[in-house]
Amino acid sequence: MGTPHSQLVCVMIISLLLIVMGSLSPDSPPEAPKFTAMFGFGDSLTDNGNNNYFLNSLAKANYVPYGVDFEEGPSGRFSNGRTTLDYLGDLVGIPNLPAFANPQATGTNILRGVNYASAAAGILDETGQNLGQRFSLSQQVVNFEKTLNQMRNNSMSDQEISHFLSKSLVVMTIGSNDYINNYLVPSMYPTSFMYNPKDYADLLIERYTRQILMIHGLGLRKFLLGGIGPLGCIPNQLATGLEPTGQCVSFTNDLVGMFNSRLRALVDQLNSKYPEAIFAYGNTYGAFGDILNNATAYGFKVIDRGCCGVGRNQGQVTCLPFSIPCTERNQYIFWDAFHPTQAVNQILAQRAYNGPPSDCYPINVQQMAQI
Catalytic annotation on 216?
A: no
Separation CA 161–CA 148 (nearest Å): 8
Does residue 154 carry a pLDDT above 90? no
Q: State how far the Cα of 233 lies from the Cα of 113, in Å rounded to an integer.
A: 33
Domains of the chain: 37-369 (3.40.50.1110)
Q: What is the mean pLDDT of the chain?
A: 92
C-alpha span between 157 and 274 (Å, rounded):
24
Check residue 139 and give its pLDDT: 98
| pLDDT, tens only, 52-84 | 999 999 999 999 999 999 999 999 999 999 999
SS3 (DSSP) at 234: coil
Give the integer Cα–Cα distance in Å for 246 and 67.
27
Q: Are residues 140 and 218 in contact, defined by beta-carbon separation less than 8 angstroms?
A: no
Reply yes or no on whether the pLDDT at 338 is more than 60.
yes
CA 320 → CA 48, 168, 236, 303, 329, distances in Å?
18, 37, 14, 21, 17
Question: CB within 8 A of 261, min separation 6: which ones?
Answer: none
| Catalytic-labelled residue, pool 79, 176, 178, 339 | 339
* pLDDT score of 51: 98
Indicate whether 259 pLDDT > 80: yes
Query: Which whole number is the average pLDDT over 138-150?
Result: 97
Q: Which of 43, 47, 86, 336 is catalytic?
A: 336
Percent of the chain predicted with pLDDT > 70: 92
Whether the CB-CB separation of 127 and 136 falls below 8 Å is answered with yes
Q: What is the pLDDT of residues 83-121, one digit of tens each?
A: 999 999 999 999 999 999 999 999 999 999 999 999 999
Separation between Cα atoms, residue 127 and residue 57, nearest integer Å: 13
Higher pLDDT: 8 or 228? It is 228
**pLDDT score at 19:** 36
Check if 339 is active-site.
Answer: yes
272 catalytic, yes or no?
no
- Reported as a single tens digit per residue, the pLDDT across 223-251 is 999 999 999 999 999 998 777 677 999 99
